[in-house]
Amino acid sequence: MINNALQFLLHTVLGLFTLALLLRFYLQLTRAPFHNPVSQAMVAVTNFAVRPVRRFIPGIGGLDTSTLLLAFIAQFLLQVGSLWIRDFPLLVADNTIWIALLGLAFVGLLKLSIYIFLYAVLLQAILSWINPHTIITPVLDALTRPLLRPLRNRIPTAGGFDLSPLVVFIAAQLILIVLITPMEQQLLRLF
């Protein structure tokens, strides 16, 4: 019972921290409005870790590599912590296990990234029907624009409805089913 509680806490804390770091990275990457409360919240939640790491790891080509590295480290610690709580013999594990843990951390980042964009598209579609002028709309628009703009140019509206979010949703689910889940299962078989 204690192990379940520790697993829950570990997944909650490190999962939310990874989510905040990835959101910060993607908000910067898509040039979302910095003074929006959502952007400010992501900066406030992650600044304690990002600022010191930026001293040693500079950005590369306009990418905030320090934030992305911290997200990867958080996912790696999540994988290691999960095994440690389950009494997996990490101290005597061979290199294959450590490489698999690195792979699982990478797959975790990919999966969480897909979910970020998937839910941003879904939330933007819902808000466009309910209230398109919310405070989160500029952030959602910046996040989803790289995905939706090329599709909107190619897919005509059907009776005034934009079908591009549906295409993104289907494509994201297919990527998760066909690519991400099999990679994750292959890596988990090594344990």
Mean pLDDT of 41-59: 93
Rounded Cα–Cα distance for residues 110 and 88 (Å):
25
**Residue 167: Cβ within 10 Å count:** 17
Query: What's the distance, CA 15 to chain centroid?
Result: 9
**What is the overall mean pLDDT for the chain?**
92
More confident of the two residues 16 and 128: 16
Residue 37 has pLDDT above 80, yes or no: yes
Total domain count, the chain: 1
Q: What is the pLDDT of residue 39?
A: 92
Q: What is the pLDDT of residue 162?
A: 82
Mean pLDDT of 48-53: 95
Using one digit for the tens of pLDDT, what is the confidence trace for 1-36?
888 999 999 999 999 999 999 999 999 999 999 889
Mean pLDDT of 102-122: 96
Given a contact cutoff of 8 angstroms between Cβ atoms, the answer to whether 132 and 190 are in contact is no
Mean pLDDT of 131-152: 90
Q: What percent of the chain has pLDDT over 90?
A: 69
Domain that holds residue 53: 2-188
Query: What's the distance, CA 17 to chain centroid?
Result: 10
Tokens of 187: 């890596």
